[in-house]
Each structure stands twice: as structure tokens, then as C-alpha cells.
Amino acid sequence: MSVERRSGTISAGRLSAEQLRENFCDLHPPMNPHEAAVEADRCYFCYDAPCMNACPTGIDIPLFIRQIAADNPNGAAKTIFDANIFGAMCARVCPTETLCEEVCVREVAEDQPVRIGMLQRYATDHLMETTTEHPFKRAAETGKRVAVVGAGPAGLSCAHRLSMHGHTVTVFEARQKPGGLNEYGIATYKATDDIAQAEVQWLLGIGGITIETDKALGRDIHLRDLTADYDAVFLGMGLAGVNALTAEGADSAGSSDAVGWIADLRQTTDLSQVPVGNRVVVIGGGMTAVDAAVQAKNLGADEVTIAYRRGKEAMSASGYEQEVAATRGVHLRYNLQPKRIHAENGDVTGITFEKTASDANGKLSATGEEVTLEADQIFKAIGQSFVPDSVAAEGAALTLDGGRIAVDDERKTSMDKVWAGGDCIAGGEDLTVVAVEDGKIAAESIHAALSA
Amino acid sequence: MADLSTNFLGIQSPNPFWLASAPPTDKQYNVERAFEAGWGGVVWKTLGEAGPPVVNVNGPRYGAIHGADRRLLGLNNIELITDRDLEVNLREMTETKKNWPDRVIIASLMVPCEEHAWKAILKRVEETGCDGVELNFGCPHGMSERGMGSAVGQVPEYIEMVARWCKENTDLPVIVKLTPNITDIRKPAEAAKRGGADAVSLINTINSITAIDLDSFAPEPTIDGKGSHGGYCGPAVKPIALSMVSEIARNPDTHGLPISGIGGITTWRDAAEFIALGCGTVQVCTAAMTYGFHIVQEMIAGLSNYMDEKGYASVEDFRGAAVPNVTDWQYLNLNYVTKARIDQDLCIKCGRCHIACEDTSHQAITHLVDGVRHFEVIDAECVGCNLCVNVCPVENCITMEQIAGIDPRTGKPADADYANWTTHPNNPAVREAAE
């Protein structure tokens, strides 16, 4: 078998094109109209619905599901987009099992929540496929100009809402394409058919928004200039840094950051050209670790292990994500803390972990017992961090909190005319849907300030 | 195991489940399949007079309304009586009865309102060996435009006249099938009895348009851009049928008149309810047309199980048991005070009881208690209306319970004695009598 020949190396083309296509197809094929009708009928149209309260963007979920049930999927989509302009992507990447679906009363009643995420996808896909007209109208021009830094979910959500209010927005994006993590940070099988770009283009349909790519804050543009040139600034540049691994040998060839690899995978046009190890170890416990591990398996790696330093319950990847990984053949191991990466001739050959244990207070300690896994490729997925260099010139004017930008309830920073949202701000969960809400709240605050 | 056999007008049937006169009973092929499946009897699809048969539309004949998951709740049809030659039907009825001597075949009839026409058809159907006749005074569409079906059923004098003709011209038991498209169902039933009919069967279908197509603006079912009202049946009509059956069963003038119950019967429970209101047999159509003939096995097993659990040896043991409990509103006990009770262990916190009560009724169910989502009945506001019970998606989560002592809503003690409107001080009739 061809896999044997390539074992022990990091190489491309482990699987046939057909197998790759199958492995990277849509994680959840969209519902057809009949499935959607049946599922929509399950919704009880709860009063003050728990699902709606659990949604960071506060989508009127019972209403949109009722609209699907009443054969008005585009109306349902409008209800979703009213609250969350990234409704299509959120339908794909939201951890619904820990948000809306977790509190669905049918989850309480029968351990079987209404599949809200899938219904949301049904409605939003339907609107985007059946209409060319953008569903929102831009208010009359206000003559106000706002700069948005970062064309990710936070920035574009903010830009769209500002445009609705009639302001003119310029979005500066450091990368070559807009979309942020939707474009660069999500597993390929969760965002098929170039949905991230399609959604950005659809969102821009409102008009009044210009995106300038290859414009990084601190390099090509500067916050002080933006505050001088624009009526307001929104910072939504995410987390550019990757946490470093402190294990010995961490810089060996074959050891890399999962974030970069996931981004490369998303940008490749030919999956058979993406190299992957035969025995892959992913260090970490979040969605990034799962996305990297599952895709390594999908590319044809023989053995893929996720090693997480805490217990299963502490893992930030949801139970559902863990299940997806396990179902795809990823081995999940807990309480393993990386100690040494082994290499021969500079190439990774394995990794030694030390077992950990948590005490009654959740404090983690090493037990001294070691475990060594053979590996020819290691991905680090141990978190990302905000890189303050981009705003270093502003110094103390922009207050940070725990290494990220400090904001108030309206997402206003300590700097005059500057708001921020998304992963780059302190507090909150690093989720697409939270970033969208940040952008929306900031836009309303900016609009109020500009209208004053 | 309980004995499900019935004796209705002297007609023996192995069980009370008959197929109503309708498409499922139009041909020997269908009827024999029904008998194989276990149906006790059929009322053969309505026969018209000899000569060229009626014709049906060639477009859609049915319209429907659906519940969740496209469960068929109501069916409407614009099909006429049999469009097959009378001789073919008579021959097949004869053969079928010969092949299935222990099953019931009733001939449904609809001919013009002239004695010779009824006399002629009765003579022919007697030859088939069928067990009785049912006079179709019910169909509300098509035939009614020609002075038949519900056009007869809506005029008690005609009912009486035709029933009398039939009784005079045959020894077969005569059942009069009633239309519900009338103000007071007791009147046609009384007329049937006066005419000498042995029984009534009801309800036939209800005038209906199931939907309007919002592209073509035509009623459904749509025939080349036009539509006509049809006859409505299926689970949705059961409450209307039960009420009409109960009116006839408790009316002193028709009390005891045998009834074959029809209207949305889908399960054994529906059938048992009709029997409890006095019906000697029940007739089914829509459920069979939705699911096929095999459903009768559920009905047989379910009814049998119910009777065994209750210790009823035959359907006669509980037939009519609910009739004495159907009364006029004015005799309901106004001292019977109930309050809703929410079982917190069963409650899934959907909040429907709260919003139904809050928006549309009496503001008697909480939403938050101490800032926490919690649904609880406020006895001081609850009038015991039962709306919360009806809208709750969880069975038995909310129940109505009788209270004793002071009613927190009125501040008055709930009197243990029965008292109704006829003696209530607010009743103007009572006040007048006192003056």
C-alpha cells in the first residue's frame, strides 16, 4: 500500500483525489426542504426562549424557525441577519451544543434539541442562493467616515451595521483576503464552497464599505493617523500571535503551529499537495486542536493523537467537537503535558509527555510519570495571543487588560474615537458569534456618538 | 379477550369497525382487501339509479390540511357517488357477500326524490344479499346541486318521506345518513325516525374549501383554475361529529335510535368514544385512505385491550355510558372550582402556559420567581379555564385540580353542594321569578 511507502515522513498525496474529496466534504450536509419542515415543526415557540437568550447575538430563534415552518425561509434568514450578519457562517461554526441547542427545552425534555444551527443554515443558504438583492437598505449618507481595522467577523459586522446607518466605512485588512478566521482559521470541511468569501461579498452588497487588503496596523497604517483621518475607528484585528511551547526541541522541523497549517489548508486549491505526517500529534485542547487533528486524519495520516494537558472536562473543544474527532479516528488523550520533542537529523521522531493530575481545587501538577509517543509531525494548538506591537506607538493611551485591549460595555476603548471588538479585546469567549456581537454593539455605540 | 361482535339492527358483525361509503368501498377488489385486513363491514360506495353512471372530474378530487410533519388532519373531496355501472356494482356486491358471509355489506343509495326511483333501486340491491341500506342524504357537493344528497338531508320533510318510501318497499334495515351542514342535527334525526328509519349514521362530510392557491387565486382542489366546495372529513371533524351524535343520543325524541358513528375516527380510542355516546357501530374512511386497511388491527387490539382492562365483556357493556353525562351548560356545577397545577418535575420551561395566560387570558401563571425562570400558577388569578393544559406540549404536566375551602380568586368558600345557573342569583330568570 502506498501509505506504507510514505510512512515515517511528512508527505503529500497520501490519499486519492476521490478520497480527499470525500473526507473534506461538508461536515453536515445542508437540510433539504422536507427535513427543514419536519425539524422546524419540533420548535415549541417558547416564550422568552432560552435559545434566544443563549445566543450571543440574540437571534429571535423561535421566530425564524416559525418562518421556516410557515414556508418563508427568506423571511427566516432576514430575522437571523437582523441580529447576526454572519448568520450563514455562524450556522456552520457556532458551538450550538453549548449555546442555543444546549438550553433548548427539547434538550431538557428528550435530550434531542431542535437542530437550530442546521435550520439557521437552511434559511441563510436559501436566501443567499435565491436572491441577488441585499436584504438591508443603507440609510441616507451621513457624511461620516469610519475606519475598521480587520476584515474578520468583528470588523465586518461593525462595518455592515455602520453602513446601514449611512456611514461610510473603510476596512483595512492585513491579509490578502477578507474574512478573518472565517477565511483562515476554520477547518475546510466546516466551510465548504468558499462560503467565507461568498458571505463577505454578500455582506458588502449593502454598499458604503471599501476593503483595503494588505494593510496591517502598525506597519502600513497607524492608529493615530486613523483617529485623525476618520470620525471613528474600530479595532478588530484578532490575535496575531501564537503561544510558544516551552518543551525542549520545540523548534525541530516537523513541529509547527496548527493555526498556520489550518490557514494553509484553507488556501490550498489542491489538497493532494498538502503534506502531512504519518504519525501526527496535536498539542492542545481547543477547536484549533480538533480542526488540525481531524484534517490531518482526513489527509491520510495513519495515527493522529490530540494530547491535552488537563482532563476531558476542561477541554475547551466542545463535547460534540471531541466526538467528531473521535469518530474520524483521532485518538484523544488527556492529562499529558509536553516535555521533550525528539528529533533525528533535525526531524521530529517523537514527543515525551509528563502525566498530570488535578487536585481538588483544579490545580494541575506533574506526576513525574512520562509517556513517549512516536511522531513525525507535531502541531501546537495551545492558544493565541494579542500582539500589542501594532498599537505600541499609542503607548499608554490604549489601555490593555490581561494582554488584550480593554473596552467598556459599548466596546469603547480608553482612546477617544476608538472602539474595539472580537478576539483582540479582553473578556468574552473567542467565538465568531461573540465577535459579530462585539462589532454590532460597537457600531451602535459609534453611530450614537456620531449622531450626537 | 373481550367480545367485539355487534348486533346492529339485527345485523351481526364480528367487530364494530365498518368502512364508510367512500372510495375505499367502491369495488370488490378494495372491499375484499378490507375484509382480509379484518374490517367487520363496509358500506358500499353510494349507488345511483340505473343508466349511464355519473362522471367525476378528471383533475384533483381531494384537498387536505396537515399538522406537524404533514400529518393529515383534514381531507376534503369533490368526488361524486360511484361512477361505475350499477350492474357491475351489484354483481360485485353479490360475489363479495357470497365470499365473505360473516361480514357486513350495506348498500348506500342515492337516487332522485321520487318513490319509483327508490323502489327500483331497493329491489335491485335486495338481490345482492346485502345486509341493509344506507340512504345517502349527506354528500354536500355535486349531487346536492341535482337535488340529491345533502339537498335532501337539509329538509327534514324530505328525509321523512324518502325513509318512509324505503321502509315501505324493503324489509332490509334502513339507515339514514345525515349531513352536518344543518343548524340543528336533531331535526333530521327526528324526521328519519318519524319516517320509520331503523337507524341514523353521521356525520357525512362538511362543506369546505381546504385552501386558496395564492398564485392562481383558486380554491383547492383546483380544476383548471376553478374550485368548488367539497366535503370535509378526517381527524379534524371528530369533535363536530361527537357533538352531533350526542345531541341525537340525548334528545328525548330520538334517544335510543340506533346510531352508526362517523367522523374522523382514526384509532380505537376515537371509536370507543363514539360507542360511549351510544353508537352501535362506527364507520371509518379517512384513516384508511391515509394509512391503508391494516389500521383496523390497531383498532381491534386497542378496543379489546380497553374492554379487558375495564372488565367489559361486550361493547354493549359501555355503549351509551357517556350519554347521561352530556348536559346543557345551565346544569353544570358552578360550585366545582378547579385550579391549574404545574408538575415542576415534568415542566420543560417552554413558557407557553405563561404567555397564553398572560397575553390572552387571566395573568395567572408566573414567568420569573425570584428572578429565575419558573412557571407557577397564581391561584388568586386562575379561573381554572384549562387553556394552559391545552397549550402545554408535555402531557400531564399541567392538570386541573378541584380545590376545597376558600377560592383565593373570589375569596369565597367553594360550596361542596351542587349549584347551577338555573338557581344562580345573577340569572335574570331567577330574579324575575323572585319578584
Chain A closest-CA separation from residue B346 CA (Å): 8
Cβ contact (<8 Å) for A109 and B348? yes
Please tell me which residue of chain B has the smallest CA distance to A51: B350
Q: Could you tell me the CA-to-CA distances from A435 to A57, A91, A98, A119, A441 in Å, in that order?
A: 9, 14, 17, 22, 10
User: Least CB-CB distance to B351: which of A41, A47, A106?
Assistant: A47
How does residue A361 score in pLDDT terms, banded at 50, 70 and 90? confident
User: Least CB-CB distance to B394: which of A37, A41, A109?
Assistant: A109
Question: A45 contacts in B (CB within 8 Å)?
Answer: 352
- pLDDT at position A249 is 84
Q: How many CB atoms lie within 10 A of CB B344?
A: 11
- pLDDT at position B434 is 52
**Interface probe with A: pick from B71, B73, B350, most Cβ of A within 10 Å:** B350
Question: A105 contacts in B (CB within 8 Å)?
Answer: 348-350
Decide if pLDDT at A49 tops 90. Answer: yes
CA distance A337 to A322: 19
Please report where in the chains the cell 348506500 appears, as a residue.
B108
Question: A108 contacts in B (CB within 8 Å)?
Answer: 348-349
DSSP state of A171: E
Chain A closest-CA separation from residue B372 CA (Å): 12
Q: Interhelix angle for B295-310 vs B28-37, to 10°?
A: 40
Contact between residue B282 and residue B18 where contact means Cβ atoms under 8 Å apart: yes
Q: How confident is the model over A103-162, as pLDDT tens digits?
A: 999 998 899 999 999 999 999 999 999 998 999 999 999 999 999 999 999 999 999 999
Task: Convert A99-131 to b/e letters by CB count within 10 Å (16 or more is b).
Answer: bbbbbbbbbebeeebbbbbbbbbbbbbbbbeee
Q: Measuring CA to CA, which residue among A297, A365, A307 is closest to residue A327?
A: A297
CA distance B261 to B265: 9
Please tell me which residue of chain A has the smallest CA distance to B351: A47
- pLDDT at position B140 is 83
Instruction: Note the helical H segments in B61-212.
Output: 86-99, 115-126, 150-153, 156-169, 186-194
Q: How confident is the model over A176-226, as pLDDT tens digits?
A: 999 999 999 999 999 999 999 999 999 999 999 999 999 999 999 999 999
Which residues of B lie closer than 8 Å to A, measured between beta carbons?
68-70, 348-352, 354-355, 367, 373, 393-394
Average pLDDT over residues B42-70: 94
Question: B349 contacts in A (CB within 8 Å)?
Answer: 46, 50, 105, 108
User: Least CB-CB distance to A105: which of B70, B350, B354?
Assistant: B350
CA distance B136 to B163: 11
Please tell me which residue of chain B has the smallest CA distance to A50: B350
Q: Could you tell me the CA-to-CA distances from B48 to A154, B51, B96, B107, B406 in Å, in that order?
A: 74, 9, 19, 11, 65
Cβ contact (<8 Å) for A108 and B70? no
Question: A38 contacts in B (CB within 8 Å)?
Answer: 68-69
- pLDDT at position B352 is 98
Largest Cα–Cα separation, chain A: 70
- pLDDT at position B185 is 98
Question: A42 contacts in B (CB within 8 Å)?
Answer: 68
Beta strands at B62-66 and B368-369: parallel, antiparallel or unpaired = unpaired
- A/B interface, count of CB pairs below 8 Å: 36
Question: A47 contacts in B (CB within 8 Å)?
Answer: 350-352, 354-355, 367
How does residue B142 score in pLDDT terms, banded at 50, 70 and 90? confident
Cβ contact (<8 Å) for A37 and B70? yes
Q: Measuring CA to CA, which residue among B347, B359, B335 is closest to residue B399?
A: B347
Average pLDDT over residues A392-413: 93
User: Least CB-CB distance to B352: which of A46, A50, A108?
Assistant: A46
Q: How many CB atoms lie within 10 A of CB A198?
A: 16
Average pLDDT over residues B188-192: 98
Element (H, E) at A39: helix A33-40
CA distance A61 to A71: 15
Chain B closest-CA separation from residue A47 CA (Å): 5
DSSP state of B365: B
Cβ contact (<8 Å) for B393 and A44? yes
Question: A70 contacts in B (CB within 8 Å)?
Answer: none
Decide if pLDDT at B433 tops 80. Answer: no
CA distance A196 to A183: 6
User: Least CB-CB distance to B355: which of A47, A108, A109?
Assistant: A47
**Interface probe with B: pick from A39, A44, A68, A72, most Cβ of B within 10 Å:** A44
Average pLDDT over residues A360-375: 92
Average pLDDT over residues B13-24: 98
Cβ contact (<8 Å) for A38 and B69? yes
| Percent of chain B's residues with pLDDT above 90 | 93
Q: How confident is the model over B74-122, as pLDDT tens digits?
A: 999 999 999 999 999 999 999 999 999 999 999 999 999 999 999 999 9
| pLDDT higher at B290 or A452 | B290
User: Least CB-CB distance to B352: which of A42, A47, A108?
Assistant: A47
Output the average pLDDT for chain A: 93
Chain A closest-CA separation from residue B220 CA (Å): 18
Instruction: Tell me, rounded to whole angstroms, the distance of Cα A139 from its chain centroid.
Output: 30
**Interface probe with B: pick from A42, A51, A105, most Cβ of B within 10 Å:** A105
User: Least CB-CB distance to B349: which of A37, A38, A108?
Assistant: A108
Q: How many CB atoms lie within 10 A of CB A340?
A: 16
Burial of A331 (0-12, 13-18, 19+ CB in 10 A): middle
- pLDDT at position A6 is 42
Q: How confident is the model over B238-287, as pLDDT tens digits?
A: 999 999 999 999 999 999 999 999 999 999 999 999 999 999 999 999 99
Q: How confident is the model over A369-382, as pLDDT tens digits?
A: 999 999 999 999 99
Cβ contact (<8 Å) for A105 and B349? yes
Please tell me which residue of chain A has the smallest CA distance to B393: A44
Question: What φ, ψ does residue A350 adopt, rounded to 5°?
Answer: 175, 180
CA distance B280 to B271: 10
Largest Cα–Cα separation, chain B: 80
- Peptide bond preceding B221: is omega within 30 degrees of 0, i.e. cis? yes
Output the average pLDDT for chain B: 96
Cβ contact (<8 Å) for A50 and B70? no
Question: A50 contacts in B (CB within 8 Å)?
Answer: 349, 373
Cβ contact (<8 Å) for B68 and A41? yes
Q: Measuring CA to CA, which residue among A341, A168, A185, A337 is closest to residue A254?
A: A341
Q: Name the 3-class secondary structure at B161.
A: helix
User: Least CB-CB distance to B69: which of A41, A45, A49?
Assistant: A41
Chain A closest-CA separation from residue B266 CA (Å): 22
Ranking A7-16, A74-83, A342-351, B173-182 by mean pLDDT, the lowest is: A7-16
Cβ contact (<8 Å) for A50 and B373? yes
- pLDDT at position B432 is 62
Decide if pLDDT at B321 tops 70. Answer: yes
- pLDDT at position A5 is 36
**Interface probe with A: pick from B69, B71, B348, B359, most Cβ of A within 10 Å:** B348
Cβ contact (<8 Å) for A48 and B367? yes
- pLDDT at position A244 is 87
Q: Hey, which residues of B are catalytic here?
A: 139
Please tell me which residue of chain A has the smallest CA distance to B358: A47
- pLDDT at position A1 is 32
